[in-house]
Structure 1
Amino acid sequence: MTIFTFHLAELRPTTTARALWKAPVGPSTPGLRYAECLALMRLGAPTVSPARMQLRRMAMFARWEDEAAVEKFLADHPLGRRLATGWHVRLQFLRRWSRLAALPDLPARAGAWDPAEPVVAVTLARMRLLEVPRFLKWGKPVERLVRDHPGTTLALAAMRPPRTISTFSVWRSVREMEAMVHGHSTVPDPDRHAAAMTERRRRDFHHEFATLRFRPLSEHGSWQGRSGIVPR
């Protein structure tokens, strides 16, 4: 069974920069089907701010042939050994909205889920650079909504210049995540996400964009002193 992983680690800026320039691929990484390396951003941070691109904090989103390939990467690959000092979660794909050229074979839906079970959401987008001001106007309120939502146990964003952006969030339940998406959460200004999606449909911010839903299978390590990030 193919699985996905999402990794977080604190690394030297030069290590992150090399990974942003060239993600691990090819014969040196057997079993790795796809990888996206990104520098973390703090959700809701000012546009011009060191928090907008943190080269000392790296994320990697990846697809693997199996868990044995993940273990080999973390044990043997130079970048994998560094990522092994951080935190990662192993994921089973469940749902896709829209499509990425890098993941062309993912079905719209793969299996069922319980509304009460924990869920992980990953978004990936390739920006239209001229649309960045509009995206920031509509996107920042959504960043704050997800960051501060009582249903999330971890929420962050990441980027790879010049045009790739991603968000990652761990939710206590599918039900709480879906309520946020549709503007039904009991929080201030609950319709921020729904309003941004309406604006995106009016005139897209992105060349391509996808939201992916996953079932967390297991988590490993710790992130900034935290473990047990995935609810049980």
Structure 2
Amino acid sequence: MSIHSFHLARVPLRTALGALARRPAAPGLDRVEVLAGMRLGAPVVSRHRMRLRHLAVFAEWTDEAALDAFLSEHPLGRALATGWHVRLAYLRRWGAVRAFDHLPADTGRTDPAEPVVAVTLARMRLPELPRFLHWGRPVERQVRDHPETTLALAAMRPPRTVVTFSVWTSARAMTGMVFGRDDGPAARLHHEAMAERERRDFHREFTTLRFRPLAEHGSWEGRTGIVPPGERY
């Protein structure tokens, strides 16, 4: 059965630049996005906005054996193995990006109380970048500071690809944020930004993918146990 994974690692600058310039290839690696980490909500002109040595990798594998082999045998895989990653079972998709449009829209009903991982993947329209930053940075802070996220970050591969990654204590908490059902002055920021995107799209392609976390490995910036406890299969 195919699985997905999301990796975070601090790597040498040469390793990061090489991976960004040329996507890795390996047996059983069906699709991969390699990106440089960003800190959500950071100023646009800031060393935290794009952190080249903080590599983020989102990948789809034919099976776990292919992922294990990559982490133990491939040079980039061995670098990623020094950091943190979570293995993921695919659940749902909204929107479409050609690289992942083979995924079904929905795999069936899910438990709203279970932890979930959300990955958004966008290919930007570069002329729309100022609008995207205007509407997007408040939403970044909303997600980053939400009491029901255990980890939230963004990553990019210049010039067009932007990814966000967030771990939620429950699907109910995530959808509450998405649809503006939370309390407080920031509650409707995401909902309003999505309405602006519908009015005039920021992106050439855009998708949001939802996953059930299966298992996490390693640590990230001194943290372990990032994924909330829940059922595994």
User: Common fold, TM-score beyond 0.5?
Assistant: yes
Q: Distance in 2 between matches of 1:14 and 1:187?
A: 44
Q: Distance in 1 between matches of 2:184 and 2:4?
A: 31
Runs of 4 or more, structure 1, over 4 Å off, are none
Structure 1 contact 149–187 (Cα < 8 Å) conserved: no
Which residue among 125, 128, 134 is the counterpart of 2:125?
128
| Paired residues for 1:198-209 under 5 Å | 198-209=195-206
What is the Cα-based RMSD across aligned positions, in Å? 0.7
Q: Does 1:163 align with 2:160?
A: yes
Q: Distance in 1 between matches of 2:189 and 2:116?
A: 21
TM-score (norm. length: structure 1) = 0.97
Q: Distance in 2 between matches of 1:65 and 1:110?
A: 17
Superposition deviation, residue 98 in structure 1: 0.5
Report the counterpart of residue 22 of structure 2 in structure 1: 22
Report the counterpart of residue 11 of structure 2 in structure 1: 11
Deviations 1:148-194 (A, max 9, x none): 00010000000000010000000000000000000011243200000
Which residue among 175, 180, 192 is the counterpart of 1:195?
192
In the alignment, residue 217 of structure 1 is paired with which amino acid?
A: L
Q: Distance in 2 between matches of 1:127 and 1:189?
A: 25
Which residue among 34, 59, 64 is the counterpart of 2:61?
64
Query: Number of matched residues?
Result: 229
Structure 1 contact 32–69 (Cα < 8 Å) conserved: yes
Superposition deviation, residue 111 in structure 1: 2.3
Q: Distance in 2 between matches of 1:98 and 1:15?
A: 32
Q: Distance in 2 between matches of 1:129 and 1:68?
A: 38
Structure 1: segments with no counterpart, 5+ residues: none
Which residue among 113, 118, 124 is the counterpart of 1:116?
113
Aligned to 1:40, the other structure's residue is in SS state strand
Q: Distance in 1 between matches of 2:203 and 2:218?
A: 34
Report the counterpart of residue 79 of structure 1 in structure 2: 76
Aligned to 1:102, the other structure's residue is in SS state helix
Superposition deviation, residue 124 in structure 1: 0.4
Q: Distance in 2 between matches of 1:69 and 1:112?
A: 28
